[in-house]
A and B are shown apart, each in its own frame.
Chain A
Amino acid sequence: MRIKQVSVMVENKSGKLAEATGFLASKDINLRALSIADTQNYGILRIIVDDPEKAAHLLLEAGYLTKITEVLSVAVPDCPGGMDKIVRKLSAGGIGIEYAYAFPALEPGTAYMILRVDNNDKAEAILNS
């Protein structure tokens, strides 16, 4: 399934990341999942929330550098090898994975994996086959 992920670029300084997540908390935005990439100059905070449009709007208004990207959300059995299987399947289909992260689903026994790939259409077709 395709979902919208919100990315926020923040300075790579202690406290800046906490400031951004704190801001979202203050606006009652619940973070379902989160991943961080950082470099010497900046960090990219990627989040999954219930209402990405609203979160992005609030962030932009508050002056945060914000971007919405479509990513794939795939349910995986919450057991050893579950994720590995999906990654292998995509690689075999020639799909490049930029990054991936996972979070537990509300119902026990499954997890969701967020996949950022270079071709959403093709990746979806492979996963559905």
Chain B
Amino acid sequence: MNAMTPTIAAGATVTELAPTTRIVLRLADPGGVGIALGVPLSERIGSRATNGARSALCLGPDEWLIEAPETEAATLGAMIADLAARTAISAVEVSDREITWRIEGPAVLELLAAGCPRNLAGMPVGEGARTIFDSVQIVLTREAEDRFHLTVWRSFAPHVRAILDLALRELASGL
């Protein structure tokens, strides 16, 4: 790795995003449910479907993370209540449980490697995964070649942020 190149010195930035609506949806048969929610439910783990500002990331064989702007919380809640009346589903709103950081810059992969053992260079843009960051479970999505969103439980955030800040200082000093 070219640890001393100027692109690494330029580093990366970590920005907390505004609150958003998050719902963990679990169900056995996703066919047709996507239509009722206004966003398709992709069945391949790691893939994410979007419709406008609404997105559904497939976290597991029967699990999706639905994200939408905070203003859509009531609309989405009503859609899910309607769906639950017809289908066996589990839907848990976890909006306030987690926060999301936008992490971007030419050194974003080096920065995330400070805590995440996954080969993130191989994650396609537009996809994501639940994974681990120094013992803390996180959800990562790749928004662009050099931009990720890291979602973490609020109570673990200071720990993750401390490691990111330390790694940023290491990158800035050329380590």
A and B assemble together: no
Chain B residues with a Cβ under 8 A of chain A: none
